[in-house]
């Protein structure tokens, strides 16, 4: 599979150029890691913290650009190509802020081949999750971990007791499938159903430590594995990955129509 500029030496050119965007088929990326089905609902949240352009007078304007892409889009955009594309705005003049958003919207709808929205974030979203219910931190477990290669064998339910829980780990790591560089994240799991084995779930999440896949397919696999192994009535899996080059990608997958909760990794 061709990954475009990822893993290659690139020159950061000045000037707006939508041809820098490098789309990758979602179905091909999913097939590469063995995903045959996906959640009914979901989206990928991109935050570009270093986005900038020039006003008509040449004055730099800086904003945090948020991109929300439906998980049903036909393609994803390789992240390094997104950085190269967005960087091109830094020395490009635009008359109005709305013109910038319209330009990005138009280009990305073509690249992703699906529904998306773009907007500017005026302030950092709340880092509080108190209003969303109690969080259970899986990382406080004393379970002994011996396997660091992907396996879902430890994913089980501990009882038939019906519960609703919000679980989080802040020690998640997977690897880039091209460069093998580590991708760090906090992973939030919300479910209603038979009570999951917390130690087994943590063992499962740690088993991704040497697993190579893109953010989107990694979260989709976690969602699919929990569905198949634990059969929850409702399920949300939300990965908050740390940024690279000023951009983070945060896949959200759900069994029902829901918005991503106000959950932000403290490292973001």
Return mean pLDDT, the chain.
Answer: 88
Q: Which two tokens stand for residue 235?
A: 């399920």
pLDDT at 32: 84
Q: Would you state the pLDDT for residue 102?
A: 97
pLDDT band at 129 (very low <50, low <70, confident <90, very high): very low
pLDDT at 131: 42
Confidence of residue 13 (pLDDT cuts 50, 70, 90): low
What would the pLDDT profile of 47-86 be if each residue is shown by its tens digit?
A: 998 898 999 888 888 889 999 999 999 999 999 899 999 9
As a whole number of angstroms, the distance between CA 198 and CA 244 comes to: 30
Concerning whether 230 is annotated as a catalytic residue, the answer is: no
Token pair, residue 105, equals 């919207």
Map tokens 């900038």 to a residue: 52
Active-site position among 2, 44, 113, 176: 176
In this predicted structure, what is the pLDDT of residue 4? Answer: 56
At residue 3, does pLDDT exceed 90?
Answer: no
- The answer to which of 125-129, 155-159, 181-185, 255-259 has the lowest mean pLDDT is 125-129
- Confidence check: pLDDT of 91 > 70: yes
HSE-CB of 112 using CA atoms within 13 angstroms: 24
What separation in angstroms does the CA of 168 have from each of 69, 113, 197, 266? 24, 32, 14, 13
Q: Is the dihedral of CA 51, 183, 185, 189 positive or negative?
A: positive
Pair 100, 94: CB distance under 8 Å? yes
Q: Report which of residues 244 and 217 the model is more confident about.
A: 217
Known catalytic residue at 183: yes
Domains of the chain plus CATH, in order, are 18-121 (3.30.1130.10), 130-254 (3.30.1130.10)
> What is the per-residue pLDDT for 133?
61
183, 230, 248, 265: the active-site residue: 183
Q: What is the reported pTM?
A: 0.79
Q: What are the φ and ψ backbone dihedral angles of 246, each rounded to 5 degrees?
A: 85, 5
Q: What is the pLDDT of residues 42-51, one digit of tens each?
A: 999 999 988 9
């Amino acid at each position: 599979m061709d990954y475009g500029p990822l893993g290659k030496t690139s020159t950061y050119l000045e000037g707006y150029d939508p041809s820098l965007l490098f789309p990758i088929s979602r179905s091909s990326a999913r097939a590469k890691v063995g995903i045959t089905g996906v959640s009914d609902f979901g989206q990928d949240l991109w935050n570009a913290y270093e986005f900038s352009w020039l006003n008509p007078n040449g004055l730099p304007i800086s904003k945090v650009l948020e991109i929300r892409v439906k998980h049903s889009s036909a393609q994803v955009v390789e992240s390094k190509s997104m950085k190269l594309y967005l960087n091109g705005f830094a020395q490009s003049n635009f008359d109005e802020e709305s013109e910038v958003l319209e330009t990005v919207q138009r280009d990305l709808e073509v690249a992703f081949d699906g529904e998306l929205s773009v907007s500017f974030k005026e302030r950092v979203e709340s880092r509080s999750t108190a209003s969303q219910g109690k969080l259970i931190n899986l990382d406080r477990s004393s379970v002994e971990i011996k396997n660091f290669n992907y396996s879902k064998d430890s994913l089980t339910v501990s009882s038939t007791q019906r519960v609703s829980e919000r679980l989080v780990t802040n020690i998640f790591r997977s690897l880039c499938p091209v460069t093998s560089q580590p991708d760090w994240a906090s992973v939030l799991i919300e479910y209603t159903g038979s009570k999951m084995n917390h130690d087994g779930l943590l063992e499962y999440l740690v088993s991704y430590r040497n697993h190579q896949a893109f953010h989107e397919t990694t979260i989709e696999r976690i969602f699919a594995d929990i569905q198949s192994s634990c059969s929850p009535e409702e399920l949300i899996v939300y990965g908050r990955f740390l940024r690279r080059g000023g951009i983070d990608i945060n896949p959200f997958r759900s069994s029902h129509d829901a918005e991503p909760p106000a959950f932000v990794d403290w490292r973001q």
